[in-house]
Amino acid sequence: MDDSKGIITGTVYVLDNNIDTDLIIPACYLNLVPTIPEEYRKLGSYALSGLPSSYPRFIKEGQSVSEYSIIVAGKNFGCGSSREHAVTALAAAGIKAVIAESYARIFFRNAVATGELYPMESEQVLVDSFKMGMQAEINVSAGTVTNLSENSVFKLKPLGAVGPVVEAGGIFGYARSTGMIRKK
């Protein structure tokens, strides 16, 4: 994101409703420790590897980062088990924002707490307005997403009080920046 303008631009990966945490990061990869840089990268390389084969590959063979940086999804994104690795795997793969119609509460909270990606909510169904590989631009402060491939603009729900937490890099970054805890 260009911090001075609050803009996220990138290639879109489109997902359906009810994308659960097992699809985002299968349980067999939960032994990877995100605080170890090599394992963080590996975690990213397995992001969305649980998706059915009807979806195009999210990460190309031999790569650890995806060509996609924005996910557009349907309802109930991140449902399933309370898997903290789900947000981290997407961020490690290069995702900067997820725009969904709605989120499972735990995924949304983990996204805010870690500050690793923006959990944006759409005011309308966007999965019909974006196709895999289209270009998009999110203006976080204005609360809009523009389909650059078709030059159409859509309204997003405001992040409200969680916006500054994500911008600060998560709950601990926010607490440090506001003086709630001492800076390192």
pLDDT at position 2 is 46
Ramachandran angles phi, psi of 97, nearest 5°: -155, 150
Q: How far apart are CA 109 and CA 66, in angstroms?
A: 24
pLDDT tens for residues 114-170? 999 999 999 899 999 999 999 999 999 999 999 999 999 999 999 999 999 999 999
pLDDT at position 127 is 96
The domain limits of the chain are 7-177
> 37 falls in which pLDDT band (50, 70, 90)?
very high
pLDDT tens for residues 46-103? 999 999 999 999 999 888 899 999 999 999 999 998 788 999 999 999 999 999 999 9
Q: Three-state SS string across the chain, please?
A: CECCCCEEEEEEEECCCCCEHHHHCCHHHCCCCCCCHHHHHHHHHCCCCCCCCCCCCCCCCCCCCCCCCEEEECCCECECCCCCHHHHHHHHCCCCEEEECCECHHHHHHHHHHCCCEEEEECCCCCCCCCCCCEEEEECCCCEEEECCCCEEEEECCCCCHHHHHHCCCHHHHHHHCCCCCCC
Nearest to 7 by CA among 136, 165, 177, 149: 136
CATH architecture of 7-177: Alpha-Beta Barrel (3.20)
